[in-house]
Amino acid sequence: MIRFYKGLFFAASLGFAVAAVARTPVFELEIRDHLFVPEELVIPPNTKVKLVVYNRDSTPEEFESYELNREKVILGGSKANIFIGPLAPGVYPFFGEFNPRTAQGRVIVE
Q: Which residue ranges make up the site for other proteins (CB under 8 A)?
A: 24, 48, 50, 59-60, 62, 66-67, 69-76, 78, 80-86, 88, 97-101
Task: Name the minimum Å distance from CB 6 to other proteins.
Answer: 23
Give me the least distance between CB of 2 and other proteins, in Å please.
29
- DSSP H helices, the chain, are 2-23
Angle at 79 between CA 77 and CA 81, to 5 degrees: 170
**Which CB, 27 or 98, lies closer to other proteins?**
98
Coil, helix or strand at residue 2 = helix
